[in-house]
Amino acid sequence: MNKRIELIKGDITTLAVDAIVNAANNSLLGGGGVDGAIHAAAGTELIDECRNLNGCATGKAKITKGYRLKAKHIIHTVGPVWYGGYKDEPEMLASCYQSSLEIARDNKIKTLAFPGISTGVYGFPQDLAALIAVNETRRFLQKNKYPEKVTFVTFSDLHYETYRKLLEQ
């Protein structure tokens, strides 16, 4: 595995990193899954800051403070809903990773953790999502000093194994 890429199974809201990525919705005002867990763990100050961001377009990202999280910042990115791959979903998901990594670089964030973006209620096929995540991250890290380390965080054994196999290639 690349020294700059790590894989863990666990709860992204508990990580002591410079920034975690939130798989957000367009409103940035919280939702289900990872988004709801991050909002709950960060506290009410997060929703107040997010209200001032005027939402976020699919494939883009915005940064906030981490508030009550161990992470100093949250990078919110809006992944695409899966419609069978006919509405540029893979390109939109790649853009989520690119946008999040660019924000991390521009803010000199050393350690960044990603969940599986769009793989929950948005229905993106997990294998394809992991492939896009790993490829975009590797490509970005080859050209940029920051982030110094990226951690992929999975919640299930199945998703962990998918990432592990990709990262060993």
Burial of 125 (0-12, 13-18, 19+ CB in 10 A): middle
Global pTM?
0.97
Beta-bridge partner residues of 22: 76
Query: Which pLDDT score, from 0 to 100, does residue 2 have?
Result: 67
The total number of structural domains that make up the chain? 1
Which positions ≥6 away from 9 have C-beta within 8 Å? Answer: 153, 154, 155, 156, 157, 160
Domain that holds residue 149: 5-168
On whether the CB atoms of residues 163 and 152 are closer than 8 A, the answer is: yes
Q: To the nearest whole percent, how much of the chain has pLDDT over 70?
A: 99
Strand pairing class (149-154; 111-114): parallel
CATH number for 9: 3.40.220.10
pLDDT(97) > 60 = yes
Query: Which pLDDT score, from 0 to 100, does residue 138 have?
Result: 97
Q: Which two tokens stand for residue 104?
A: 């991390």
Query: Which pLDDT score, from 0 to 100, does residue 57 have?
Result: 98
